[in-house]
Structure 1
Amino acid sequence: MKNVRALVMLLIAAVAGLGAVALASRWMLDRSSSPTAKVAVASVDINLGQRLNPEFIKMVDWPSGSLPPGAFVDVQKLDGRVLKTSVLRGEPILDGKLTPLGTRGGLSAVIAEGHRAITVRVNDVIGVAGFALPGNYVDIIVSTQQDKGNKGNTDDSISKIVLEKILVLAVAQEVGRDETKPKVVNAVTLEVTPEQAEKLDLARSVGTLSLVLRNQVDTVVAPTIGVTKATLLGEKAAPEVAPVKPIRTHYVARRPAAPRDCIGVLSGVLSSEECF
């Protein structure tokens, strides 16, 4: 009885194994028989702003039913085009990652429409220890002096965030976006609007700039009033003393007495004068 039961279990296991093999074979045949198309992918890591040439591209087989939108099946159409985003090796080159036809290579090709690029000088502290890399977003703080006529404060120092969520286009002369390798540089190029460019240019001329690295997906704007030495140390402002008003003294001139009629009175040897 035990031998029969063991034989039944072996038979079931054999049937299940044969079924799995048959299904796997059928899946492999279906996959191999599905139509494919040649798609252009990057043969090396390509940075933004670079002009494409045949050395950067290779054609690979891609299932026709899952072609990514904007993919290129003709490598000749990519010759001379410029990337506006970085592309990793093996990644399909899509039309949405390319600048318009006729665009020349370089940093100017990746600046968004209506924006400008401005470069600010930084050091290892201002540049967030080299972690402010291309593709990151930063806030900009200026440390400066307030106007002297601001409520008569003796200490006019203030630190204030003047610009938020500013895109870093390049560090030094590099636009590569390898976020695993911090690099300390002496200049950072930022993408700003014309109004932001004016603010930034004034800020760096009146005070010291600092970059604050922020999360790339954080879009919350946090308006601040700035920090002074008094608010930093928790000091209370001295109460304002109202100016003392001078006391005005009014002098009243004494009027001369009106003339009266007087007569002399003799009483014996005494004399007096009576007025009425």
Structure 2
Amino acid sequence: MPIRRMLMAFLMAAVLATAITYFFSRHFQGASGASKKVRVVASTTDLPVGVTLSAKDVTEMDWPSDVPLAGSITKVEEVIGRPLLYSLGPKQPILTRDVGVQGSGIGLSGKIPDGMRATAVRSNEIVGVAGFLYPGSHVDVLATYNASNGQSAMTETVLQNV
């Protein structure tokens, strides 16, 4: 008889352990499988620097909402017609830092927000803005000189929006 009772107790413990394991596995599986997703704009293929983004270059993809993606873009319309400032791989999310101002082209001008200007200050012959200007860039030419009346240096705009 005692063997029969021990066998029955062992069998009940096994059933109870199976039920507890099943309950916890379903509970944790449901918590991890139900993570919410957000839609972000991503590249469809390899995209080189300077390409003006079109509808065929971008798509929407799911991104886990519990994994923050700073600067993500959620609407395809926000990137259409904007130049790409950095190359992207396929299915790579497009961030606000990756695209320039619409119609600005590539180079330094694409990284300057509307209403702002970039300046170049000569420090020696090597430092400058070579390679940053492209066709369609707008440039202001300023001249700095010492005033004839002994005042400190003055800067005036010589040519604007050239």
**Pairwise TM-score range, normalised by the shorter structure:** 0.5 to 0.7
Correspondence for 1:74: 75
Correspondence for 1:29: 30
Higher strand share: 1
In the alignment, is the contact (CA less than 8 A) between 1:49 and 1:110 conserved in 2? no
User: What pairs with 1:165-184 in structure 2 (closer than 5 Å)?
Assistant: none
TM-score normalised per structure 2 = 0.53
In the alignment, is the contact (CA less than 8 A) between 1:49 and 1:109 conserved in 2? no
C-alpha displacement of 1:71: 0.9
In structure 2, how many angstroms separate the alpha carbons of the residues matched to 1:194 and 1:103?
A: 28
In structure 2, how many angstroms separate the alpha carbons of the residues matched to 1:77 and 1:98?
A: 10
1:196 and 2:132 matched: no
C-alpha displacement of 1:78: 0.8
C-alpha displacement of 1:69: 1.4
> Tell me, what secondary structure is at the counterpart of 1:22?
helix
In structure 2, how many angstroms separate the alpha carbons of the residues matched to 1:49 and 1:61?
A: 26
Q: Deviations over 1:38-90 (max 9, x none)?
A: 11112212222222111121112223343411111111111011221122222
In structure 1, how many angstroms separate the alpha carbons of the residues matched to 2:61 and 2:52?
A: 21
Change (3 A) 1:26 1:194: farther
TM-score normalised per structure 1 = 0.34
C-alpha displacement of 1:21: 3.6
In the alignment, is the contact (CA less than 8 A) between 1:40 and 1:73 conserved in 2? yes
In the alignment, is the contact (CA less than 8 A) between 2:79 and 2:99 conserved in 1? no
Q: Aligned pair count? A: 119
Correspondence for 1:52: 53
Structure 2 unaligned blocks of 5 or more: 113-117, 129-162
Correspondence for 2:93: 92
Taking only the aligned residue pairs, the percentage that are identical comes to: 19
Change (3 A) 1:25 1:84: same
Structure 1 unaligned blocks of 5 or more: 116-192, 199-276
> Tell me, what secondary structure is at the counterpart of 1:91?
coil
CA RMSD of aligned residues (A): 3.7
Change (3 A) 1:2 1:46: farther
Change (3 A) 1:90 1:6: farther
C-alpha displacement of 1:25: 2.4
Q: Give the greater-gyration-radius structure (CA).
A: 1
